[in-house]
Amino acid sequence: MPARPVLRTRLPTATLLLVFVAGCALTEPVVRPEQPLPAQWAEAAPAATIAIHDSWWRDFGSPQLDALVAEATTAAPDLRIQAERVVQAELALRQAGASLLPSLNVSGDSGTRNVDSNESSSTGIDLGASYEIDLWGRIAAGVDASRAGLVATRFDYDAARLSISASVATTWFQILALQERLDIARRNLATAERVLRVVQARYDNGAASALDLSQQRTTVLAQRKAIEPLEVQLRQTRSALAILLGRNPQAAIPSGERLDALTIPAIEAGLPAELLLRRPDLAASEARLAAAAADIAAARAALLPAVNLSAGGGVGSAALLSLADTTRTLSISASVLQKIFDGGRLRAEVDIQRSRQRELVESHRRAILGALKEVEDALADGTRDANQEAAEREILAEAERSLRLAELRYREGADDLLTVLLAQRTLFSSQEQLAQLRLARLTDAVNLYKALGGGWKHPVGVDASIATSAGPRSN
């Protein structure tokens, strides 16, 4: 006779009622800091401005910088590391989403038992399925937290890309400035040697003292001494740029441009209120606030009963390695599990998540304040260094004229060597200061681009809305 299936069910009426309860999933609002933003910047923005865009480095007029940034955004190790973190966050979201689906298992066994010379055999195959009804939204909240974490990681990638581009630009400008300072040091050495020849000639003719000759020789030696540190610093800066690009530190870096040929853009700062939508790091911080809200919802849901459904079926036989004359079984069951005592572990987890939320809120507020300060500082530095550069150019023009007159009067015997020495020092110092101020202005522009988000805009679409999916916004 064919085997009759055996059906075992355990479906309490109370469990069925729980399954069909609607609208009982827990949610948490996304808490944001109450941080008022100023209406205008305290520091004045440049008069002539250009709109910021996501290829901001092109505004400096450096083709080599354009090529370097393009290389860095594809090969920089730091950026590749952040890209892998995005991949890991995507996989974590997929893993969390799998918890919403039922699990299915299959098992098989076959064996022989011998008890008191009585031998028995059996063979069976069992199929089981289990599913946790997410009645309180615990699993869904975990998925929301992973989704918000993915959004934050993507924004972190955008922030890293902006940071890498800014680092490449500033390092490239440092290389050009060091090359300029090295050229200045060599020209100054040539000037000091030219004056030394004049002093030597006057000394040979008895018109200059041994002190004059010694002083000018000291000036020449000091200028020679200043060259080597600049050469070492230039090599080290080039190797730092190579590492940013993902190259070996020994790789050659092209250097066919000059510092004074670059354009210093005047950047439109916009309004402080726009900053929250223009900086990827602030967007990432806000996405983590959404993840924290979802984590609280998951911790609260863990305090409530868990409802599980399970079903199983199998076939068995009293024969070894054979399913002849089988017996079939089928079972369906539901269970409710509620922790009665756990020493306060679950409630402590809720408190931990709330504390973590408060921490993230304050971190986000600090990030907003820091972003506002970065813009203000970049605006102030740009204005100050522009004024300083203009003044230094006037000083340099006068220093060059003073040295020419001092040399001429010294040749004619109208002045002593001390006047020439002072004029040399003033000229050398002014040339060095002008190169450093030019570098400072370029760096100020990069810092302002970075502080304003580098042309980044908060995406409008699915990914942007994910960050608020854990619950309604709080007022």
Rounded average pLDDT over 167-193: 93
**Beta-bridge partner residues of 103:** 130
Residues 6 or more apart whose CB falls under 8 angstroms from that of 271 comprise 39, 40
Rounded average pLDDT over 306-315: 84
Query: What's the full length of the chain, in residues?
Result: 475
Is the Cβ–Cβ distance between 123 and 275 less than 8 Å? no
Residues 6 or more apart whose CB falls under 8 angstroms from that of 99 comprise 132, 139, 142, 143
- Confidence at residue 16, expressed as pLDDT on a 0 to 100 scale: 43
- Range from 152-166, 317-331, 413-427 carrying the lowest mean pLDDT: 317-331
Kindly state the percentage of the chain with pLDDT values over 90: 52
Residue found under tokens 């199983």 = 312
pTM for the model: 0.83
Q: How many CB atoms lie within 10 A of CB 449?
A: 24
Is the Cβ–Cβ distance between 406 and 420 less than 8 Å? yes
Tell me which range, 28-42, 205-219, 280-294, 404-418, is most confidently predicted by mean pLDDT: 280-294
More confident residue, 27 or 286: 286
Token code pair at residue 87: 């991949």
- Confidence at residue 320, expressed as pLDDT on a 0 to 100 scale: 60
- Confidence at residue 3, expressed as pLDDT on a 0 to 100 scale: 42
Kindly state the percentage of the chain with pLDDT values over 70: 89
State whether residue 418 is helix, strand or coil. helix
Would you place residue 469 in the very low, low, confident or very high pLDDT band (cuts 50, 70, 90)?
A: very low
Residues 6 or more apart whose CB falls under 8 angstroms from that of 202 comprise 208, 212
Tens-place pLDDT, residues 85-143: 999 999 999 989 888 888 888 888 877 776 666 777 777 788 888 888 888 888 899 99
Is the Cβ–Cβ distance between 44 and 379 less than 8 Å? yes
Taking the domains of the chain in order of start, what are their residue ranges? 44-99+137-301+346-466
pLDDT at 21 over 60: no
Q: What is the CATH number of domain 44-99+137-301+346-466?
A: 1.20.1600.10
Residues 6 or more apart whose CB falls under 8 angstroms from that of 284 comprise 151, 152, 153, 155, 156, 159
- Confidence at residue 319, expressed as pLDDT on a 0 to 100 scale: 64
**Beta-bridge partner residues of 23:** none
First to last CA, the chain: 72
Rounded average pLDDT over 356-373: 95
Q: Supply the mean pLDDT for the chain.
A: 85
Q: What share of the chain is helix, strand, coil (3-state, %, to 5)?
A: 60, 15, 25
Is the Cβ–Cβ distance between 292 and 357 less than 8 Å? yes
Tell me which range, 36-50, 128-142, 380-394, 459-473, is most confidently predicted by mean pLDDT: 380-394
pLDDT at 236 over 90: yes
Torsion angle, alpha carbons of 443, 445, 447, 448, to 10? 170
- Strands 118-133 and 306-317, sheet pairing: antiparallel
Rounded average pLDDT over 448-470: 68
- Strands 6-10 and 327-337, sheet pairing: parallel
- Confidence at residue 11, expressed as pLDDT on a 0 to 100 scale: 43
Nearest-angstrom CA–CA distance, 419 and 407: 9
The rounded Cα 172 to chain-centroid distance in angstroms is 20
pLDDT at 190 over 70: yes
Give the full edge-to-edge strand order of the sheet including 327-337: 6-10, 327-337, 306-317, 118-133, 103-115
CA 140-308-107 angle, 5° bins: 110
Phi, psi angle pair for 336, to nearest 5°: -120, 130
- Confidence at residue 325, expressed as pLDDT on a 0 to 100 scale: 65
